[in-house]
Amino acid sequence: MDDLHPDKDVQLENEESLDPKDWEAMRVLGHRMIDDMMTYLESIRERPVWQPIPGGVKQSLCMALPLDPQKPEDIYQEFLDYILPHPMGNIHPRFWGWVIGTGTALGMLAELLAAGMNPNLGGADHVANYVEAQVLKWCKEMLGYPIEASGLLVSGGSMANLVGLTVARNTMSGFDIRREGFQATQKPMTLYGSVETHSSNQKAVELLG
């Protein structure tokens, strides 16, 4: 046994763990959550698109920092009572406020799988890297992009705008901006956009200098 490869049978004193104290109880709670959310999505058309949040609900979300642990079941019940009944509305088929996806039941389950594996695509040789590469390859095929084109998956449209404008800035700068920095530019750069341009582009420009 050494520091890098400890004996798996050795138990440290006062060892802390984020594992559930009762795996079976957590399993039961997890199944309950899935059943509840499946029912919620299946019956979405039976509820209003949006409804005002009562003052009591808002007040319940202004509590002082809790200093004692709470049971997962109790926290989930608070979710059912105060949070689930008051969504933004974008998962409803009659939500026409913005172009925001409704999501899908399968997408919800996929989020569970992704959160369970909790991958980090910053490096190392693990399968999530290959999943991303596969999805990007499919996107290039659908869009008719050359196979040597590159890309990455991001969290949403705002981050996509930031990445896209970063690529545009670096390409149009005329020098190696990653090596020399933006202070090496000989003239200011300008972004053209209509009044309908999403505000995330303005924020991206501010971040990019």
- Residue 6 included in any domain: no
Count how many domains the chain has.
Answer: 2
Quick one: tokens of 118? 């909790």
Question: Mean of the pLDDT values across residues 83-105?
Answer: 88
DSSP letter for 66, please. Answer: P
- Residue 174 included in any domain: yes
Question: Which residue, 117, 137, 169, sits at the end of a domain?
Answer: 117
- Residue 142 included in any domain: yes
Same domain, 109 and 175: no
Whether the pTM exceeds 0.85: the reply is no
- Residue 16 included in any domain: no
Please report, rounded to a whole number, the percentage of residues in the chain having pLDDT higher than 90. 76
Three-state secondary structure call for residue 138: helix
Please report, rounded to a whole number, the percentage of residues in the chain having pLDDT higher than 70. 93
* Residue type at 9 in one-letter notation: D
Q: CA-based Rg of the chain, rounded to a whole angstrom?
A: 24
- Residue 94 included in any domain: yes
Cβ neighbors of 61 (< 8 A, separation 6 or more) are: 82
Same domain, 53 and 109: yes
- Residue 15 included in any domain: no
Please report the DSSP string for 74-130 in residue order: HHHHHIIIIITTS--STTSTT--SSS-----HHHHHHHHHHHHH---TTSSS-HHHH
pLDDT surpassing 80 at residue 127: yes
Same domain, 96 and 134: no
Which pLDDT belongs to residue 9? Answer: 63
For 18-49, b/e burial (b = at least 16 CB within 10 A) is eeeeeeeeeeebeeeeeeeeeebeeebeeeeb
Phi/psi at 120 (5° precision): -125, 120
- Residue 122 included in any domain: no
Which range of residues forms the domain containing residue 83? Answer: 23-117
Same domain, 75 and 146: no
Three-state secondary structure call for residue 195: coil
Same domain, 103 and 28: yes
CATH assignment at residue 96:
3.90.1150.170
